[in-house]
Amino acid sequence: MNEQSTHILLIEDNPGDADLVRLRLVESKSAVDVSCVDCLSDGLASLAQQQPSVILLDLNLPDSQGAETFRKVRDKAPDVPVVILSGQDDEGLAMKALHQGVQDYLVKGSITSGALNRAVRYAIERQALLRSLEMSRKQQLEFKNQFLSHVSHELRTPLTCIHQFVTILLDGLAGEVSAEQRDHLQTILKSVNQLGAMVRDLLEASRVESGKVRIEPRCVAIGDLIRLAVAMMQATAREKQVGLEVGLDNRIPFVQADPDRILEVLINLIDNGVKFTPPGGAVTVQACLVPTDPDFVYISVTDTGCGITPEARPLIFERLYQDPNAVDNNRKGLGLGLFIAKELVGLHGGRIWFASEPGDGSTFSFTLPLYSLAKLLFPVITRQGCLRDAIVLLKVDLRPRSKPARGNWKDTCQHCLEILQRCVYLDKDLVLPPMATPGPEQTFLVVASTNMDRVQIMMTRIREQLEKIPDLKANGELALSAAAVTLPDPADPLEKQVQDIAHRVTEMARFALGVKQNSK
């Protein structure tokens, strides 16, 4: 930045203080031009027009006080350095602001022209330095991710080759295989699969770290997901002679989660549990509700293994961490499983933690947000404190024409969902998070604030748009239907009315999905 063009925005409501600052700037004889405003809103307006080299900011203004003032300025102009002008009595506040990204502060009344000049110049320099550090950090991260992506791709080719030829031998495509040879081949296959899992974890960890993982939340029956994970891990547990059990509350409500990602979390936790549990022990997966935290489902994986040493505890969710004291004959992984699990749970808005005593097993727990239809519906089906006049539940059924579905059916359904979302009004219609279904049939439900006459127009529009998708046209069938939702007593409080609607919609949805499952 050229010193000739140092442009200062002074946001100060006290005219005396403002004049003094100007005077000191003139005295310092450095080439600056100053624009001065006396309230935050004018300051923000000025920032929207032009970004100064530095902002001199009084935190206590007529329209904003304290740390809030700085936050608003930073949101508007994150790259512009800020120097705070603080009164003698609020130096503590100024110190606190330094931790939030303010470059410097000056105490009004004791500002000299030299100090002011120095503060302005240093603030500009430091901000520029910070920015270039941040840039190079980002570049490094990007480079690391590209590198990992490249390496895992290159590793995959020889891995595939080994996998292919081992399975060719095992399947007898190259002649008879003796029992002993089969044993050895199975060992090779197992190692190759482990290697493949590591390559996958490596890529997944770097993707999670760089924020490239997309979560597609759905309405998920977490009990089914747990049973699936347990079924997938049963062979591994049996081989190690570790029991693997499920304990579920009878009425676990649906959660809002991406089933693929949560399956990954469950498998990671179960795999760990089995790995650190000696033969004869057991791993138990449970899900329950906790009365003190009613918005979440608690899921836990408990093992009877060696437990976690006190030294390992603070590090266990770190990338690449492996407990050096966990003596285990089994091969270790890369130490990425818990890191990935933590990140994925975090992306869902849940928490993950553990409880453990050395020698007495461990319990890893995480939470997932409950699927709350009322919460989702509230902004859509109410207006100005009242329920809307008419509400309709619209149903879009997709089924593949052949079994197994041709093409990539899952993607076709996802594509339909995206199109569907574009066909509705965001402020008064809601596409419900899709149910994770076991079969290929997919049903999307829309709660629409409209009546049965007008919903026909909406259905025509949706049909027209969905029929434009070539994959759906080629491989699937489309059916649309609608039913009015009975409105509750308008005398009830609004919250109660919305809950009633949510309850009715849930019943209707359950019926819609149930009928489909029975007709299979």
Partner 1 sequence: MGNQKILIVDDDPDLRQALRLRLRANRYDTVNAVDGYSAIALAYKEHPDLIILDLGLPAGDGFVVLDRLQRDDKLSTIPVIVLTARDPQSSEQRALEAGAAAFFQKPADNTELLDVIRATLPKGNAVGTALPS
Q: Give min distance, CB of 175 to partner 1, in A.
A: 12
Residues 158 to 187 in contact with partner 1, rule: CB under 8 A: 159-161, 163-165, 167-168, 171, 173-174
Helices (H), 306-408: 337-347, 373-381
Q: Report d(CA 63, CA 39) in Å as an integer.
A: 6
**Is 241 a binder of partner 1 (CB under 8 A)?**
no
CB nearer partner 1, residue 163 or residue 351: 163
Identified binder of partner 1 from the candidate list 149, 236, 372, 465, rule CB under 8 A: 149
Site track for partner 1 across 413-452, x = CB under 8 A:
----------------------------------------
Residue 82: Cβ within 10 Å count: 24
Among 76, 96, 118, 156, binds partner 1 (CB under 8 A): 156
Instruction: Give the amino acid at 430.
Output: L
Q: Which is nearer to partner 1, 192 or 301 (CB)?
A: 192
Query: How far is 400 from 339, CA to CA, in rounded Å?
Result: 38
* H-state helical runs in 210-244: 222-239
- Phi, psi at 333, each rounded to 5°: -90, -155
What binding mask, one character per residue, do residues 362-401 give for partner 1 by CB under 8 A, x or -?
----------------------------------------
Size of the site for partner 1 (CB under 8 A): 30
The strand ranges marked E within 384-475 are 386-387, 392-400, 429-431, 442-448
The span of 98-106, 132-140, 151-159, 294-302 binding partner 1 (CB under 8 A) equals: 151-159
For the stretch 240-277, what's the b/e string if a residue is b when 16 or more beta carbons lie within 10 angstroms of its beta carbon?
bebebeeebeeebebbbbbbebbbbbbbbbbbbbbbbb
Pairing assessment for the beta strands 54-58 and 82-86 based on DSSP bridges: parallel
Among 7, 76, 96, 207, binds partner 1 (CB under 8 A): 207
The answer to whether 408 contacts partner 1 (rule: CB under 8 A) is: yes
Phi and psi for 327 in degrees, rounded to 5?
A: -75, 120
Residues from 467 through 486 that contact partner 1 (CB under 8 A) = 471
Task: Report which DSSP code applies to 100.
Answer: T
**Interface residues for partner 1 in 17-56 (CB under 8 A)?**
none
Q: Does 153 bind partner 1 (CB under 8 A)?
A: yes
Least distance to partner 1 from the beta carbon of 497, Å? 41
List beta partners, residue 56: 10, 83
Binding site for partner 1 (CB under 8 A): 149, 152-154, 156-157, 159-161, 163-165, 167-168, 171, 173-174, 192, 196, 203, 207, 212, 402, 404-408, 411, 471
